[in-house]
């Protein structure tokens, strides 16, 4: 990797000179990710988040300690979990006077929670914090229909018997059917998979390339387990010790035999299968962050600095960009702010919502037209060294409990960087609503 | 071109659509024979044979009902804001226009008319509390290859200044048809990639009617639709426009938009929708994925700030 | 088993009923009453002084009245078999006064291996036989154990002899019965606070997620140590719960890994600044009659129970950890043998051999290495043993007529981890309620 001279100045010191101090990733913990309606079918978001935090507390001996804050969230959240993270904290071994708050940014919830905590630490507002997220598609909230809901609200507002009767009379039989959350984008009615199918087709990403990425994800994740990489990143839960979605024995042939599931009726060639798309998953992930002082005072390891992060959004509603392409915009802005090029990284963690997402993003960065017209760059960002991409697997193999993915990635990347002892890692996570978050971590 | 002299008919309030439709039905039953005379290529172009009434129906002091506005905004997926969506203004004024169309001297039958499209200039955001003066009149009667077209113009003014002007074009099928006229713009043979998909249930028409009062039978259910010669009910064209605008219309400035209806959306049904930026405007179209038939197409774009 | 009905049925059937054992609770008095000190050895005087120093009421006259919490018997000066009769008979006279949960602790003396004068050796070994049989006659959850003062000069006030006396008198030794604790040197420092003998220490416990390992973690924590709980990643959920309970840290690690010792050392040093105590508790069983034994069952048991400990110890010794105290879990199966456990017994007997042979290396660093051999302990693992076998193992075999609890093993482990126990090295302490199984 040819770093230009100005890039050899460690970012940490550069930031320190800028008046903020480093935010350090101390470690992480997650529970293994389970497939929907599998091992965690009876666990709630709060249960899983509690387990993940408790595992982190046990790993780092934080029992009874008051941390600066715990930030996290869930994408599929029942209204009664309005204070999800705080309620989870109260169930953990952390001191009950640890503040907590909920964050929600779709699949980037975990990244936003971690990034905002890192910023507070960098500013000196906090000494420590836990960031992360949780999601359950097995224990998803089911709401009453809009009709029933409005009737109940009217009934509540009604004062006279006549008004009450009128409210009830408005109910229709179909209003009694419950309303389960879907993965469709509210403004378009298209599922995330269908949106990605359009982007995948637009970038001409082949079925073979997607299957190959999926295969690498499974192989890399399996190899990481084999070398005990996750021993200090995962705590088993409800009898599950490894990500249930992992298929260590999958092959190109098996992946090639799957039928497409997305994009079949979009007038494009359907290439996206259950094998190269992430399944619905349950799980929780957390990351412990702190100042250097906090880590030193508590004899805690310092794996990496959480250097910077950037969110971007795209207008998929008016057809200007693909739904999951926001990271393609967040990354160049982040690179520019930090004086880095796309090639200045030792590890790339690009969330595999779909294999097509990763490949479309990579293709965009290599495309001169995209980089010029959409990013306003003179030259393409260029290629990413694929041997540095998702080296310990990503969401295709591990699964993707929406809000938990950021925590999984940051902890994994921080440990990778610490093992290597030098260099930087780039995180890219796309999210529903045309959003995305990119982040830079630096080894220490 | 100078506008013809029109007499203002000032109404005390916005009429109810239900009675208007009933009146239209009665009028059509009674007057059918007279109009049969102009079926087919008649003795001359419709504008020569038929005469539009030279009137403007005017209603003053029209204001939006906040509850109804909220219901509309929710129906089309718009945000609950205190300015009036363009289609809501249309809905507010529509009965006034219909009132013109059911006049005894209006030469075309209201029921069974095909809604061909709209062009609307929504000059500035209109607050929910603003009192509007609504004026509606017909103009531009002309031949179509399948019948006779007419434009219904609606103008909404606030403090004497027009803030919303819409032209709805309708086709009375079979009346004064001019088959030699070329079809309009050819339909795109390959639909673009969709950016959205609407799943419209059977109650879509009733839901729109419940909010904006347009109980035209062709939208309400299978039986009323069949009575008017349709196999199934169809979605209100303005509902489709309203959904597009909820996404595509700017809400901090005036805008101009147009929509052209090509094939009806039968209910229940699924519409593939594509929105695409085009030179500072947003082009949109909706089609049926299975048949490839286009339901509608149009464009929306912000107006430059008005000069003061 | 503890219901009144069961007790009544046992009485009618003429079966002995197990007495509740006196177990340690912080704040309890060391002994439940006066201590009678008998015998003519120098240890008697030393013991009296030590006991008085602990605020215990001491009586030297066997003729006195009143309940006794313990009898301390100085048999450290026996020269001939005849010397045993007087203290033995005096003990017998005093036994009626011994309260339930009482203790008999005898000081004995001698070289390992009966060297020297045959007459003296006969007297010393005779004392052992006497003590073991006395232990079998005690009722009410009382126990009898010995402290063997190694060599000819070691005194009862050697720190480890003091520590052993404290341990054996206390409720910590509830399930230790008929055993000898051998003190060879004057090494060791007494704790400032006997309630917190592990204050400031950092202890690693392998297999800490459940059962005996979890009990060890809790006991070491109670006694003042910071605890690192280690278990295989798959047991991480339970491990996390234990770690949080004891305010320690959880280290998910398969100890079979070649670098397990380094990983433990790094974790302890990085997170707790030091490493003072290692408890090799992790172990597995893969029972099969030898005729049906396959290679993987055999090798996995030996790899986990024995080879991993050898490898980790080598790492710790190489690291030169000063004063490191290692306690390994052996098993009475390794002493007496057990049908279906050839592999397990080989591994556990191997542990005893290992600690014996590692004693010098440990001592060279100012530390020590010992083993604890549990007998029948009531755990999740033994709950799987068929009921009849379990009942027999509990009731018929040990003198205490019951299975032990994980905490009983943990107490013995804790004792051997005390700095004060530095004079005890290379030994195996049985925690078996004086089971018939084995010696």
Domains, in order of start, for chain B = 7-177+186-302 (3.10.129.10)
Domain assignment present for A312: yes
Contact C233 A230 (CB under 8 A): yes
Count of structural domains within chain C: 2
Domain membership of residue C8 (yes or no) is no
Q: What pLDDT is recorded for position C124?
A: 92
**pLDDT band at residue A5, thresholds of 50, 70 and 90?**
very low
Q: Is residue A212, in this structure, part of any structural domain at all?
A: no
Q: Is B198 on the interface with A (CB under 8 A)?
A: yes
pLDDT for C401 equals 80
Exposure on the CB side of residue B106, measured as CA atoms within 13 A: 27
Question: What is the DSSP-derived secondary structure letter of residue A244?
Answer: T
Considering only alpha carbons, which residue of chain C is nearest residue A31?
C237
Residues A164, A121 share a domain: no
Is the same domain home to C145 and C215? no
Residue C197 counted as domain residue: no
Question: Is this prediction's ipTM beyond 0.90?
Answer: no
Residue A109 within any structural domain of the chain = yes
Q: Which is catalytic among the residues C130, C167, C317, C344?
A: C344
With DSSP H G I counted as helix, E B as strand and the rest as coil, what are the percentages for chain B, rounded to 5? Answer: 25, 35, 40
Judge whether C69 lies within some domain.
yes
Distance of CA A157 to the CA centre of its chain: 40
Q: Provide the pLDDT for residue B36.
A: 46
Residue C73 C-beta-side C-alpha neighbours within 13 Å? 29
**Which pLDDT score is estimated for B192?**
80
Lowest mean pLDDT across A148-152, A163-167, B31-35: B31-35
Comparing C72 with C390, the larger pLDDT belongs to: C72
Cα–Cα dist C284/C190, whole Å: 35
A37 and A162 co-located in one domain: no
Pair (A119, A168) in one structural domain? no
Q: What is the pLDDT of residues A68-119, one digit of tens each?
A: 999 999 999 888 889 999 999 999 999 999 999 999 999 999 999 999 999 9
Same domain, A93 and A163: no
**Any residues with CB less than 8 A from the CB of A117 and at least 6 apart, and which?**
A23, A68, A69, A71, A126, A129, A130, A131, A289
Task: Confirm or reject contact between B281 and chain A (CB < 8 A).
Answer: no
Q: Tell me what pLDDT residue C51 has.
A: 97
Residues C167 and C242 in one domain: no
Residue A295 sits in the same domain as residue A380: yes
CA distance C294 to chain A (A): 25
> How many structural domains are present in chain A?
2
In a domain, C326, yes or no: yes
Strands A260-262 and C180-183 come out as: unpaired
Among A184, A204, A319, most B C-beta atoms within 10 A, so best to mutate, is A319
Whether residues C114 and C218 share a domain: the answer is no
Same domain for C423 and C347: yes
Number of Cβ pairs < 8 A linking chain A and chain B: 52
Whether B267 contacts chain A with CB within 8 A: no
Lowest-confidence region among A40-54, A137-151, A205-219 = A137-151
What percentage of chain A carries pLDDT values higher than 90? 77
- The answer to whether the CB atoms of A194 and B197 lie below 8 A apart is yes
- Residue C171 sits in which domain range? 30-183
List all chains that touch chain B, counting a touch as 3 or more CB pairs closer than 8 Å: A
Q: Is residue A375 part of a domain?
A: yes
Question: What pLDDT, on a 0 to 100 scale, did the predictor assign at position A161?
Answer: 86
Please report whether residue A167 resides in a domain: yes
Weakest-pLDDT range from A83-87, B13-17, B47-51: B47-51
CATH number of the structural domain spanning residue C57: 3.40.50.720
Asked whether residue C270 falls in the same domain as residue C332, the answer is yes
Tokens of A187: 């403004």
Locus of tokens 């994408």: A75
Q: Are residues A423 and A331 in the same domain?
A: yes
Confidence class for position C425, pLDDT limits 50, 70, 90:
very high
The pLDDT, as a whole number, for residue A268 is 66
Contact C431, C176 (CB under 8 A): yes
DSSP A354: B
C209 and C146 within one domain: no
In a domain, A72, yes or no: yes
- pLDDT band, very low/low/confident/very high, at C1 (cuts 50, 70, 90): very low
Question: How does DSSP classify residue C382?
Answer: G
On average, the pLDDT of chain C sits at 91
Kindly state whether residues A16 and A41 are assigned to the same domain: yes
- Domain assignment present for residue A209? The answer is no
C273 interaction partners in chain A (CB closer than 8 Å)? 299
Subunit partners of chain C (3 or more CB pairs within 8 A): A
- Write out chain B residues lying below 8 Å of A188, CB-based: 195-197, 273
Do both C139 and C268 map to the same domain? no
The residue behind tokens 């305010």 is: C247
pLDDT at residue A11 greater than cutoff 60 = no
Q: pTM for the whole thing?
A: 0.84
Q: Looking at residues C154-165, what average pLDDT do you find?
A: 96
* pLDDT for position B156: 96
**Token pair 């005996």 is at which residue?**
C212
Identify whether residues A110 and A153 lie together within a single domain. Answer: no
Report yes or no: B127 at the A interface, CB cutoff 8 Å: no
Told to judge if C107 belongs to the known catalytic residues of this protein, a careful annotator would answer no
Residue showing tokens 């070649």: C258
B189–A contact, CB cutoff 8 A = no
- Do C275 and C413 sit in the same domain of this protein? yes
pLDDT > 70: percent of chain C: 90
Q: What is the CATH number of the domain that holds A371?
A: 3.40.47.10
Asked if residue A402 is part of any domain, the answer here is yes
Pick from A168-182, A395-409, C20-34, C224-238: least confident: A168-182
Q: What is the DSSP string of B245-266?
A: HHHHS-SSS-EEEEEEE-S--B
A188 touches chain B (CB under 8 A): yes
For residue A71, what are the domain limits?
12-140+277-443
Q: What is the pLDDT of residues C202-212, one digit of tens each?
A: 999 999 999 99
Distance from the Cα of residue C26 to its chain's centroid: 19
Of A12-16, A131-135, A319-323, C331-335, where does mean pLDDT reach its minimum?
A12-16
Q: Percent of chain A beyond pLDDT 70? A: 94
Distance CA B164, CA B156 (A): 5
Give dist(CA A241, CA A235) in Å, integer: 7
Same domain, C156 and C292: no
Asked if C108 and C233 sit in the same domain, the reply is no
The reply to whether C196 falls in a domain is no
**Does residue A14 register a pLDDT over 60?**
no
Per-residue pLDDT tens for A179-209?
Answer: 666 668 888 889 899 999 999 999 999 999 9
Last residue in a domain, options C152, C183, C214: C183
pLDDT in tens, B21-47: 888 888 777 765 455 444 444 556 666
Mean pLDDT, residues B260-281 taken together: 91
Long-range Cβ contacts of C161-164 (<8 Å, 24+ apart): C161/C107, C161/C423, C162/C50, C162/C190, C162/C420, C163/C188, C163/C190, C163/C415, C163/C418, C163/C420, C163/C421, C163/C424, C164/C415, C164/C421, C164/C424
Do residues C128 and C210 both lie within one domain?
Answer: no
- Is A87 in the same domain as A170? no
Contact A265 B289 (CB under 8 A): yes
Nearest CA to A28 among A138, A117, A139, A124? A117
Asked if residue A134 and residue A168 are part of one domain, the reply reads no
**Across all residues in chain A, what is the average pLDDT?**
91
- My answer on whether A298 and A416 are in the same domain is yes
Q: Residues C225, C157: one domain?
A: no
> What is the number of residues in chain C?
439
| pLDDT value at B188 more than 80 | no
Residues A428 and A291 in one domain: yes
In this structure, what token pair is assigned to residue B91? 């809905």
pLDDT value of position C399 = 80
Q: Does residue C436 belong to any structural domain of this protein? A: no
Mean pLDDT on C69-82: 94
């Amino acid at each position: 990797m040819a770093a230009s001279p100005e890039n050899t100045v460690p970012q940490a010191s550069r930031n320190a000179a800028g008046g903020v101090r480093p935010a350090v990733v101390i470690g992480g913990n997650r529970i293994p990710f389970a497939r929907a309606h599998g091992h965690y079918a009876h666990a709630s978001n709060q249960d899983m988040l509690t387990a993940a935090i408790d595992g982190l507390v046990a790993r780092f001996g934080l029992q009874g300690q008051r941390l600066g804050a715990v930030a996290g969230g869930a994408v599929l959240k029942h209204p009664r979990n309005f204070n999800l993270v705080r309620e989870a904290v109260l169930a953990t071994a952390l001191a009950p006077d640890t503040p907590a708050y909920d964050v929600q940014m779709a699949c980037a919830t975990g990244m936003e929670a971690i990034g905002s905590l890192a910023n507070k630490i960098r500013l000196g507002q906090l000494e420590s914090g836990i960031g992360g997220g949780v999601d359950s598609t097995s224990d998803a909230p089911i709401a009453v229909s809009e009709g029933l809901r409005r009737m109940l609200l009217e009934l509540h507002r009604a004062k006279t018997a006549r008004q009450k009767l009128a409210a009830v009379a408005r109910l229709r039989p179909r209003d009694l059917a419950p309303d389960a959350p879907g993965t469709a984008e509210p403004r378009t009615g298209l599922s995330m998979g269908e949106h990605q199918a359009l982007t995948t087709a637009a970038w001409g990403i082949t079925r073979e390339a997607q299957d190959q990425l999926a295969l690498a994800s499974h192989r890399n994740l399996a190899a990481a387990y084999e070398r005990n990489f996750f021993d200090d990143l995962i705590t088993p839960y409800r009898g599950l010790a490894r990500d249930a979605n992992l298929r260590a024995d999958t092959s190109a042939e098996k992946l090639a035999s799957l039928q497409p599931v997305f994009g079949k009726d979009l007038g494009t060639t359907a290439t996206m299968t259950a094998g190269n798309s992430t399944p619905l998953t349950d799980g929780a992930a957390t990351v412990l962050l702190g100042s250097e002082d906090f880590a030193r005072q508590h004899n805690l390891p310092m794996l990496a600095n959480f250097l910077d992060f950037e969110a971007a959004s795209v207008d998929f509603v008016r057809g200007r960009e693909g739904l999951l392409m926001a990271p393609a915009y967040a990354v160049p802005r982040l690179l520019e702010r930090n004086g880095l090029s796309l090639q200045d990284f030792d590890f790339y963690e690009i969330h595999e919502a779909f294999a097509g997402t990763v490949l479309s993003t990579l293709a965009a960065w290599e495309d001169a037209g995209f980089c010029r017209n959409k990013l306003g760059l003179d030259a393409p960002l260029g290629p990413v060294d694929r041997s540095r991409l998702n080296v310990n697997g990503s969401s295709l193999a591990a699964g993707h409990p929406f809000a938990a993915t950021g925590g999984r990635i940051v902890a994994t990347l921080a440990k990778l960087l610490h093992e290597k002892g030098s260099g930087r890692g780039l995180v890219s996570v796309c999210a529903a609503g045309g959003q995305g978050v990119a982040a830079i971590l630096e080894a220490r | 071109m100078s506008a013809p002299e029109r007499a203002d008919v000032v109404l005390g309030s916005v009429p109810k659509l239900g009675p208007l439709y009933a009146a239209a039905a009665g009028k059509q039953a009674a007057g059918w024979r007279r109009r049969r005379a102009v079926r087919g290529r008649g003795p001359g172009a419709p504008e020569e044979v038929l005469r539009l009434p030279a009137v403007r129906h005017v209603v003053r002091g029209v204001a939006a009902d906040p509850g109804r506005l909220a219901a509309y905004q929710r129906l089309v997926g718009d945000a609950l804001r205190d300015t009036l969506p363009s289609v809501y203004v249309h809905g507010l004024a529509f009965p006034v226009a219909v009132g013109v169309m059911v006049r005894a001297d209006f030469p075309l039958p209201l029921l069974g008319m095909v809604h061909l499209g709209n062009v609307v200039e929504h000059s500035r955001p209109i607050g929910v509390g603003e009192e509007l003066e609504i004026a509606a009149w017909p103009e531009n009667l002309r031949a179509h290859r399948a019948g006779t077209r007419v434009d219904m113009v609606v103008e909404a003014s606030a403090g004497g200044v027009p803030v919303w002007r819409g032209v709805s074009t309708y086709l009375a099928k079979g009346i004064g048809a001019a088959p030699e006229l070329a079809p309009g713009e050819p339909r795109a043979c390959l639909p673009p990639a969709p950016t959205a998909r609407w799943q419209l249930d059977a109650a879509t028409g009733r839901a729109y009617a419940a909010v904006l009062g347009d109980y035209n039978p062709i939208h309400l259910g299978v039986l009323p639709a069949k009575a008017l010669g349709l196999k199934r009910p169809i979605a209100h064209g303005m509902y489709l426009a309203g959904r597009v605008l909820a996404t595509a219309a700017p809400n901090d400035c005036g805008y101009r938009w147009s929509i052209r209806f090509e094939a009806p959306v039968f209910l229940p049904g699924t519409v593939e929708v594509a929105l695409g930026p085009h030179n500072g405007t947003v082009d949109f179209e909706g089609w049926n994925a299975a048949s490839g038939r286009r339901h509608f197409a149009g464009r929306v774009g912000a107006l430059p700030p008005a000069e003061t | 088993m503890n219901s009144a009905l069961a007790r009544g049925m046992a009485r009618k059937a003429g079966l002995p009923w197990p007495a509740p054992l006196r177990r340690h609770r912080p704040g309890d008095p060391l002994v439940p009453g006066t201590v009678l000190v008998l015998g003519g050895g120098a240890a008697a005087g030393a013991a009296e002084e030590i006991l008085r120093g602990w605020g215990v009421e001491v009586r030297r006259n066997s003729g006195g009245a009143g309940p006794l919490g313990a009898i301390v018997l100085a048999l450290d000066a026996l020269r001939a078999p005849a010397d045993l009769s007087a203290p033995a008979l005096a003990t017998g006279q005093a036994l009626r006064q011994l309260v339930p949960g009482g203790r008999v602790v005898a000081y004995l003396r001698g070289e390992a291996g009966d060297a020297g004068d045959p007459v003296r050796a006969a007297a010393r070994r005779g004392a052992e036989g006497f003590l073991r049989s006395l232990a079998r006659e005690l009722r009410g959850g009382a126990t009898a154990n010995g402290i063997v003062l190694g060599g000819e000069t070691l005194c009862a006030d050697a720190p480890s002899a003091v520590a052993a006396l404290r341990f054996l008198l206390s409720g910590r030794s509830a399930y230790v019965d008929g055993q000898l604790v051998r003190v060879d040197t004057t090494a060791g420092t007494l704790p400032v606070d006997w309630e917190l003998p592990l204050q400031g220490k950092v202890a690693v416990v392998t297999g800490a997620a459940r059962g005996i390992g979890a009990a060890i973690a809790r006991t070491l924590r109670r006694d003042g140590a910071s605890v690192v709980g280690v278990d295989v990643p798959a047991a991480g959920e339970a491990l996390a719960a234990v770690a949080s309970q004891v305010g320690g840290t959880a280290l998910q690690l398969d100890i079979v890994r070649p670098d397990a010792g380094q990983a433990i050392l790094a974790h302890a040093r990085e997170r707790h600044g030091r490493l003072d105590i290692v408890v090799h508790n992790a172990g597995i069983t893969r029972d099969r009659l030898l005729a049906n034994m396959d290679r993987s069952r055999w090798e996995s048991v030996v790899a986990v129970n024995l080879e991993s400990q050898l490898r980790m110890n080598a790492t710790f010794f190489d690291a030169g950890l000063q004063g490191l105290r290692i306690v390994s879990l052996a098993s009475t199966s390794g002493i007496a043998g057990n049908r279906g456990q050839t592999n397990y017994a080989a591994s556990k007997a191997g542990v005893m051999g290992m600690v014996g042979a590692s004693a010098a290396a440990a001592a060279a660093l100012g530390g020590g290495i010992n083993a604890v051999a549990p007998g029948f302990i009531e755990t999740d693992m033994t709950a799987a043993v068929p009921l009849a076998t379990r009942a027999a193992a509990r009731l018929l075999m040990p003198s205490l007529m019951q299975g032990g609890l994980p905490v009983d093993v943990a107490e013995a482990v804790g004792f051997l981890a005390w700095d004060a126990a530095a004079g005890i090295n290379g030994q195996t302490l049985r925690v078996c309620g004086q089971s018939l199984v084995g010696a």
